[in-house]
Amino acid sequence: MATPILVTGAAGFIGHATTHRLLARGETVIGLDNVNDYYDPALKEARLATLAGNDRFHLYRMDISDAAGVAKLVRDNGITRIVHLAAQAGVRYSIENPFAYQQSNLAGHLAVLEACRHAAGFGHLVYASSSSVYGDKPMGGKGFSEDEPATDPVSLYAATKRSCELMSQSYAKLYGFPQTGLRFFTVYGPWGRPDMAYFGFTRKILAGEPIEVFGEGKMARDFTYIDDIVDGIVGALDHPPMASVHRILNIGDSQPVGLMDMIETLEKALGRTAEKVMRPMQPGDVTATYADISRLNAITGYKPRVMLAEGLGRFVEWYRGYYKT
């Protein structure tokens, strides 16, 4: 019988979707989350409620930086596979609340690494990194490649994510357990995060309020639908590298979309036109993101299937149902 899989951040957007996918294929999942108030905890509780009826899901409410608690959880449940998605998210929030990133991202990642190091027969750690580690670089060619240097972060959030990658590299070398870091590119979809632009735009457009378009609308993002992201996470989990190997993989859509094009697509899905207020770029933002996903494709067969118009349509349908708008 397979050992349980630990999913940290199980009440989060990506953690909730990953947990559902793993349960659907018969896995037992241990979820860990502190259900904090970075955004509406009621949304996190609603996500957890969709998992509550499954007797193969068990939730532990604790902070990811509780190293002793995480180690005990891993040890007591015989965990040999971890999908570590718990983190303090948000680039702009890191400007005002830097120490939240020290605790959740740095201390939290170290707590997970230590738990893996001491776990008997540990098999594979898959963890969330971010496209933000690439910094603000020009968009061209075939996209951002994992081999490019990631030495110029423009936000503390990005710096903590790159730090986690380096910590993992050292632990793979020192202690020999396989690790995969996934650099996520702008994930969106039903049950998403209210701090993301498409989510906030939807709320304001439906309320008849103007939307603020930062970067004068000239930014582009590699929007990646949640189901495609989960395909990549589970595919990576199922194809671990060799012992002592720490690999970095991009996980995105590989089709960057301009911010104004995204807004136009969202307007069509909502059947409304937005009143737009143009603003300059905010501190910590980058101009564009564009994933080269050839490495993940070669390992897992990963291929994004949901294009932006379909994905935003699904999001709007969920949003209207959840918020009864």
188 three-class SS: strand
8 Å CB contact between 30 and 7:
yes
Give the model confidence (pLDDT) of 200-245 as tens digits.
Answer: 999 999 999 999 999 888 889 999 999 999 999 999 999 999 999 9
Q: How would you classify residue 249: left for phi > 0, otherwise alpha for psi between -120 and 50, otherwise beta?
A: beta
pLDDT at 2: 86
The set of residues, in sequence order, having a beta carbon less than 8 Å from that of 276 and lying 6+ positions away, is 210, 211, 213, 217, 263
Give the model confidence (pLDDT) of 10-51 as tens digits.
Answer: 999 999 999 999 999 999 999 999 999 999 999 999 999 999
pLDDT at 140: 63
CA–CA gap between residue 59 and residue 316 (Å, rounded):
29
8 Å CB contact between 202 and 319:
yes
Instruction: Work out how many domains the chain is built from and give that number.
Output: 1
pLDDT averaged over every residue in the chain: 95
pLDDT at 90 over 90: no
> For residue 260, what pLDDT band results from cuts at 50, 70 and 90?
very high
CATH of the domain at 113: 3.40.50.720
Burial (CB count within 10 angstroms: exposed 0-12, middle 13-18, buried 19+), residue 25: exposed
- Taking alpha carbons only, the member of 88, 259, 209 closest to residue 157 is 88
pTM: 0.96
Q: For the chain, how are helix, strand and coil distributed in percent, rounded to 5? A: 45, 15, 40
Diameter of the chain by CA atoms? 57
8 Å CB contact between 179 and 124:
yes
- The residue range of the domain holding 177 is 5-257+265-323
Q: What percent of the chain has pLDDT over 90?
A: 89
- Taking alpha carbons only, the member of 273, 157, 290 closest to residue 205 is 273
Annotated catalytic residues are 157
Q: What percent of the chain has pLDDT over 70?
A: 98
pLDDT at 102 over 80: yes
pLDDT at 189: 98
